[in-house]
C-alpha cells in the first residue's frame, strides 16, 4: 500500500506499507508540487566524542586549514564551521567527576545533580517536539557502547547517557544496529517487529519483500530520475539489512538479535541508519554517543590497543598524538556520513543544505579534564542559517549560546537555554 501524508506543508512523508514493513520513501519529485520544491525539512544530529580532542585551527575566517585530525572533512569544507573558544560552565567544579559533568551538561546545559540521576531535559528532546512532530520516530538515541562505570560517586548513567527526558529519566538508548533497523523499517510494536524479524529470517526473506508489489507499481508512474533514486534507495536498504543479519552476534545466547560485535562496524552502521532515517523523514533529530565518557574502548583496529581513557591521560606529545589518531578515525566516519548526505536531493538543495550536524565533546583536554575551548564543529547550512566554510572563535562564550543559535536556525524559537547569555553569528 502506498501512503501519502495529508499533513499540511508536508513534502516528503510518503510510505510503502506491507505486512510487517513500513518503508519511508526518499525525496521524490513526483510527490512534491512545484511551488513546494524550495521547502526542505530541517534536521539536526548531535555526535558526542568522549575523552577530549584538540583541533583548533590557527587561522580564523575562511582562510583556515582543516589539518589533522580534521583533514578528512576537506571534501565537505564549504559546509564546515569550526567553532572555538566555547566553554561548558555547568561542567566545571572543584570536585572530581569531570567526565560525568562534561557529558550530561553538553546537551542539558545544566550541572547534573550529585549523585544523581537528575538531569534537565536535553536540547535534542526539546527540538524533537517541533522538528519531529508527525514523524514516525520522535528521535534516535544511539550509543557506541552500553556500559559505563560510575565516576567519583556520580551515577554511571552520567557517563553513558547523552540524551535525557528530564529528571531521573535518560532517553532510552540503542546500542544494537539491528534493533534500530527494525524500528526504522518495521511496522507495529517492538514485540511485533521482533516476531516478524524471526519469521523473515527463518524464511530467508527481506523486509523489502513485503512491499515489492507496491514499489513496482510506484516505479511505473514516477519519472526516470525518481525511479533511479527509488531503486538506489531500496538497494541500499537491502544491502544494509544483509550486513546486519550477517554480523556476528554480540553474545552466544540462542535467539539473540544479530548485531555488530566489532566497535568500528557498529559506529559505521549507526551512521548509515541515521542517514536512512534522515533521508526518508523517519525522524528529524538524532544523537550518537560514540562511546561513554572515560571509556575503556580499545582502538586496536588502528594500532592503539590501550584503552581510550588511559591514552587520554597521557599528557606527553606521544599521548596527544595517539588521541589525535582516535579523533581522526571518528572524523573520517563522520565525514563519510556528511558526504553521503550531500549527494541526496532535498527540495531545492541537498540534505546538508537543510541540516545541522554537530560533532564535539564536553571535555576539551582529557589529561587535564578541562571544559574551556571545547572541540566543536558543525557541518551543514540549516537552510541558510549557517554560512559554512569558516573557523569562528568565540573566546569565553557559553557553549549553550550555540544551542540557542541552532534552535532558532532550525525554526524553533528560543531565547534562553542553560547558562546561555545570547546567540552566535554563524552567517
43-48 and 298-299: which strand pairing? unpaired
* Positions in the chain short of pLDDT 70: 1-40, 187-213, 215-216, 229, 233, 236-261
DSSP β-bridge partners for residue 164: 170
Residues 224, 264 within the same domain? no
Neighbours of 88 (CB within 10 A): 27
Report yes or no: 134 and 144 within 8 Å, Cβ to Cβ: no
Shared domain check, 182 and 169: no
How many Cβ atoms sit within 10 Å of the Cβ of residue 48?
Answer: 24
- H helix count then E strand count, the chain: 11, 16
> Domain of 349: which CATH number?
3.40.720
Beta strands across the sheet bearing 21-24 = 2-4, 14-18, 21-24
Contact status, residue 162 vs residue 287, Cβ threshold 8 Å: yes
Task: Check residue 215 and give its pLDDT.
Answer: 66
Q: In whole angstroms, how far apart are CA 314 and each of 290, 301, 304, 324, 362?
A: 21, 20, 13, 12, 19
Grid cell digits, residue 102: 562534561
Instruction: Give Dmax over CA atoms of the chain in angstroms.
Output: 66
Question: Which of 28-34's residues contact partners 24+ apart within 8 Å by CB, and which partners?
Answer: 28/222, 28/226, 28/229, 28/230, 29/223, 29/225, 29/226, 30/221, 30/222, 30/223, 30/226, 31/4, 32/347
Q: Are residues 95 and 147 in the same domain?
A: yes
Looking at residue 257, what is its pLDDT?
37
Taking alpha carbons only, the member of 386, 387, 365 closest to residue 374 is 365
Residue 106 located in a structural domain: yes
Q: Is the peptide bond before 298 cis (omega within 30 degrees of 0)?
A: no
Q: Nearest 5°: phi and psi at 186? A: -85, 170
Residue 298 inside a domain? The answer is yes
Where is 406: in which H helix or E strand? helix 400-409
Beta bridge partners of 307: 298
* Number of domains the chain is built from: 2
Q: Are 265 and 383 in the same domain?
A: yes
Please report whether residue 416 resides in a domain.
no
Between CA 22 and CA 159 the distance in angstroms is 34
Helix (H) or strand (E) holding 200: helix 190-203
Say if residue 215 is in the same domain as residue 312: no
DSSP state of 349: E
307 is a domain residue: yes
- One domain for residues 269 and 121: yes
Cα within 13 Å of Cα(152), Cβ side:
14
Give the pLDDT confidence score for residue 348 in this predicted structure. 79
Domain assignment present for 254: no
Question: Distance (Å, rounded) from C-alpha 341 to C-alpha 76?
Answer: 10
146 in the same domain as 106: yes
The C-alpha cell at 211 is 512491499
Q: What is the distance between the alpha carbons of residues 335 and 73, in angstroms, rounded to a whole number?
A: 5
Q: Write b or e for each residue in 215-231: b if 16 or more Cβ atoms lie within 10 A of its Cβ, otherwise e.
A: beebeeebeeebbebbe
Is 143 part of a structural domain of the chain?
yes
108, containing H or E segment? helix 98-108
| Domain annotation covers residue 237 | no
C-beta separation of 312 from 367 below 8 A? yes
Same domain, 186 and 171: no
335, 401: one domain: yes
106 and 7 in a single domain? The answer is: no
End-to-end CA distance of the chain: 44
Same domain, 203 and 338: no
Distances (CA, A) of 301 to 162, 263, 306, 325, 331: 25, 9, 11, 11, 15
Half-sphere exposure of 424 (CA within 13 A, CB side): 30
The domain of 23 spans 1-39+178-232
Query: Closest Cα partner for 158 from 107, 192, 200?
Result: 107
427 part of a folded domain: no
Q: How far apart are CA 168 and CA 269, in angstroms?
A: 29
Q: Same domain, yes or no, for 365 and 272?
A: yes
Amino acid at each position: 500500500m502506498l501512503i501519502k501524508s495529508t499533513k499540511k506543508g508536508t513534502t516528503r512523508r510518503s510510505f510503502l506499507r506491507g505486512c510487517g514493513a513500513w518503508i519511508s520513501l526518499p525525496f521524490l519529485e513526483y510527490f512534491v508540487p512545484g511551488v513546494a520544491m524550495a521547502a526542505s525539512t530541517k534536521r539536526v544530529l548531535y555526535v558526542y566524542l568522549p575523552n577530549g580532542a584538540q583541533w583548533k585551527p590557527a587561522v580564523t575566517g575562511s582562510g583556515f586549514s582543516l589539518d589533522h585530525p580534521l583533514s578528512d572533512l576537506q571534501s565537505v569544507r564549504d559546509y564546515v564551521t569550526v567553532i572555538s573558544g566555547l566553554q561548558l560552565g555547568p561542567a566545571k567544579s572543584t570536585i572530581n567527576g569531570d567526565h560525568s559533568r562534561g557529558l550530561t551538561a553538553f546537551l542539558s546545559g545544566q550541572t547534573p545533580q550529585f549523585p544523581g540521576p537528575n538531569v534537565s531535559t536535553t536540547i535534542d528532546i526539546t527540538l524533537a517536539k517541533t522538528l519531529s512532530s508527525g514523524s514516525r520516530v520522535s528521535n534516535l538515541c544511539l550509543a557506541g557502547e552500553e556500559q559505563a562505570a560510575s565516576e567519583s560517586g556520580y551515577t554511571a548513567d552520567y557517563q553513558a547517557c547523552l540524551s535525557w527526558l528530564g529528571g531521573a529519566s535518560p532517553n532510552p538508548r540503542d546500542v544494537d544496529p539491528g534493533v534500530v533497523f527494525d524500528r526504522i523499517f518495521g511496522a507495529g510494536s517492538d514485540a511485533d517487529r521482533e516476531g516478524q524479524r524471526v519469521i523473515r529470517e527463518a524464511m530467508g526473506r527481506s523486509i523489502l519483500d513485503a512491499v515489492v508489489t507496491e514499489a513496482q507499481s510506484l516505479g511505473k508512474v514516477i519519472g526516470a530520475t525518481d525511479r533511479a533514486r527509488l531503486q538506489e534507495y531500496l538497494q541500499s536498504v537491502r544491502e544494509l539489512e544483509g550486513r546486519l543479519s550477517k554480523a556476528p552476534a554480540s553474545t552466544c545466547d540462542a535467539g539473540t538479535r544479530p548485531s555488530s560485535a566489532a566497535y568500528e562496524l557498529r559506529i559505521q552502521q549507526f551512521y548509515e541508519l541515521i542517514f536512512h532515517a534522515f533521508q526518508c523523514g523517519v525522524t528529524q533529530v538524532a544523537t550518537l554517543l560514540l562511546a561513554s565518557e572515560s571509556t575503556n574502548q580499545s582502538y586496536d583496529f588502528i594500532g592503539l590497543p590501550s584503552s581510550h581513557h588511559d591514552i587520554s591521560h597521557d599528557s606527553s606529545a606521544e599521548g596527544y598524538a595517539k588521541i589525535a589518531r582516535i579523533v581522526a578515525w571518528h572524523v573520517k566516519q563522520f565525514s563519510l556520513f556528511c558526504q553521503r548526505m550531500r549527494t541526496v536531493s532535498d527540495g531545492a538543495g541537498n540534505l546538508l543544505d537543510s541540516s545541522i550536524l554537530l560533532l564535539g565533546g564536553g571535555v576539551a583536554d582529557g589529561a587535564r579534564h578541562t571544559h574551556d575551548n571545547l572541540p566543536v564543529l558543525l557541518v551543514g547550512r540549516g537552510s541558510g542559517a549557517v554560512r559554512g566554510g569558516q573557523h569562528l572563535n568565540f573566546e569565553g562564550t557559553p557553549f549553550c549560546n550555540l544551542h540557542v543559535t541552532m534552535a532558532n536556525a532550525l525554526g524553533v524559537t528560543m531565547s534562553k537555554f542553560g547558562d546561555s547569555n545570547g546567540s552566535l553569528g554563524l552567517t
